[in-house]
A and B are shown apart, each in its own frame.
Chain A
Amino acid sequence: MSERGFSIRVPAITHERLDDEVIAINLETGIYYALVGPGADVWSCFDPAGSVGGACVVLAARYRTSADEIRADVEAFARRLEVAGLLADVEAPDPPAGALPVAPPQSGWASPELEEYRDMADLVLLDPIHQVDEAGWPHLPESAG
């Protein structure tokens, strides 16, 4: 049986990595996220897709530890990213893991953390599907004009 893996949910998710930090924006929910250090590295392992096992091997080499030591952290974090709608659960992809930066990590391995920001979420609270008339065009908001 093949190992499960995860892929980034593009195009719903737009994301970029700068040095030690990833910003990931969920266009469906209006919530955006920052992943720093080990979290950013886990993310890169699933960009565009990767298996948990493949990620653990790559991360263990990067952080000079064993894959078994970090597997529970990686699995739990991937599940958390999946619950947030950032990753999709897929059959083991090929290649198994994405590329990591050449520069060494700025710290040792630690349980990855996900910083969540909701200050833009109001922008997507209006549901376009229920805001259009029979011809498909939006109703004029009472507050406009």
Chain B
Amino acid sequence: MTSLRYRIAEQSVLVRAVGTDLVERTDPALSARRDTEPDEAPALTIDMWDSAVSGIGMPRAPWVPQELAPLGLVGSYCDSRFMTAVDVHTASLSIFDAATSHGVFWLHDARRMAYWQSASPLRLILSWWGSRRGMQLTHAGAVATSDGAVLLVGGAGAGKSTAALACLAAGLHYLGDDYCLVALEPQPWVYGVYATAKLRPDSPSLLPALRPSVRNAARLDREKAIIDLAGTHEAQLGVGAPIRAIAVPSVTGRVGVSAISPSAVLRAMAPSTIFGLFGATPGSLHLLADLAPRVPGYRLEVGEDLDAVVDAISSLAAS
């Protein structure tokens, strides 16, 4: 058994795993949040194992396939207390018991964990747990200056990672490029969760200094580059910051900023969050709809001049 403690969103999280193979794939994304001297009981405990390496099989599923919703939620095992999802994309199972704040994660074969899953592991359980504590795991990047954070939202390919890594290279704090925890009270706040970045191998933001941190360099012909930032950029990995603005990047070739309505922000932020989290929870869209009018929203046009992108984001953080 391997046990690791993390601090996520200022709360203690205990992850226990059978063997080391699964941890070797989940810990790099979380290691920046490692808590080596925990002094409180965990707010969330996750137990996980795989079958292929551990040899511990799974009993027959207690539901019939027809009980699976299109996104993979198991309807008959989701209620006000439990959430359960089967992920057919990654051959994995996630369960969360809100009454005990206990998650269970099972994967068919740890050695074949999908690269995108290892970049943001245990996503569903963290999402369900967060929703019970007034937070929403949100499909967003986030970077911060001493003034506060800018949330970068939008679907895949919008330019979130490009913008976030350009800011990292310029010395800003980095809270994530894909999924962050967002809270509304006492003020809109974003917490970093994963110390990774995902980039197309030909992205201009994949700077030479980052290339040694690409964990899947041998598979870039079929995978996005996964960059582990914990070892190289520890000092810039922020815990959390107040959200000063929400930017919706779009790659247009020129850099520009223009104000957009809260409903336009919500349209950019909510669908990919909700579908990426298997429908999320009944309160997810409501929380994001509460957030959108509370901070100014902008369309951020992203071009090749990454310095100008950083300047634009820094200005938004100071707004």
Contact of B108 among A23, A34, A120, A140 (CB under 8 A): A140
Q: Which of A52-60, A66-74, A123-131 is the interface stretch?
A: A123-131
Nearest A residue to B59 via CB reads A135
30 contacts between A and B (CB under 8 A): A14-B282, A14-B285, A16-B286, A18-B289, A18-B292, A19-B262, A21-B263, A23-B289, A25-B275, A27-B69, A27-B275, A30-B275, A34-B267, A117-B271, A120-B155, A126-B88, A128-B68, A128-B72, A132-B65, A132-B68, A135-B59, A136-B61, A136-B64, A136-B65, A137-B108, A139-B91, A141-B89, A141-B90, A141-B91, A145-B109
A132 touches B88 (CB 8 A): yes
Within residues 241 to 292 of chain B, which ones have a CB less than 8 A from any CB in chain A?
261-263, 266-267, 270-272, 274-276, 279, 282, 284-286, 288-289, 292
Interface centre among B66, B72, B111, B155 (most CB of A within 10 A): B72
Given A15-B285, A132-B88, are A145 and B263 also a contact pair (CB < 8 Å)? Answer: no
B133 contacts the other chain (CB 8 A)? no
B275 touches A120 (CB 8 A): yes
B86 contacts the other chain (CB 8 A)? yes
B53 contacts the other chain (CB 8 A)? no
Chain A residues with CB under 8 A of B69: 27-28, 128
Contact of A137 among B58, B89, B276 (CB under 8 A): B58
Given A15-B285, A123-B275, are A25 and B270 also a contact pair (CB < 8 Å)? Answer: yes
A20 contacts the other chain (CB 8 A)? yes
Chain B residues with CB under 8 A of A137: 58, 61, 86, 91, 93, 108
A43 contacts the other chain (CB 8 A)? no
Chain A, interface size category, equals: 35 or more
CB of A96, distance to nearest CB on chain B (Å): 25
Q: How many residues does chain B have at the interface if contact means C-beta atoms less than 8 Å apart?
A: 50
> Which residues on B are within 8 Å of A, measured CB to CB?
58-66, 68-72, 86-93, 108-109, 111-114, 155, 222, 261-263, 266-267, 270-272, 274-276, 279, 282, 284-286, 288-289, 292-293
Within residues 104 to 145 of chain A, which ones have a CB less than 8 A from any CB in chain B?
117, 119-120, 123-124, 126-132, 135-141, 143-145
Nearest A residue to B272 via CB reads A120
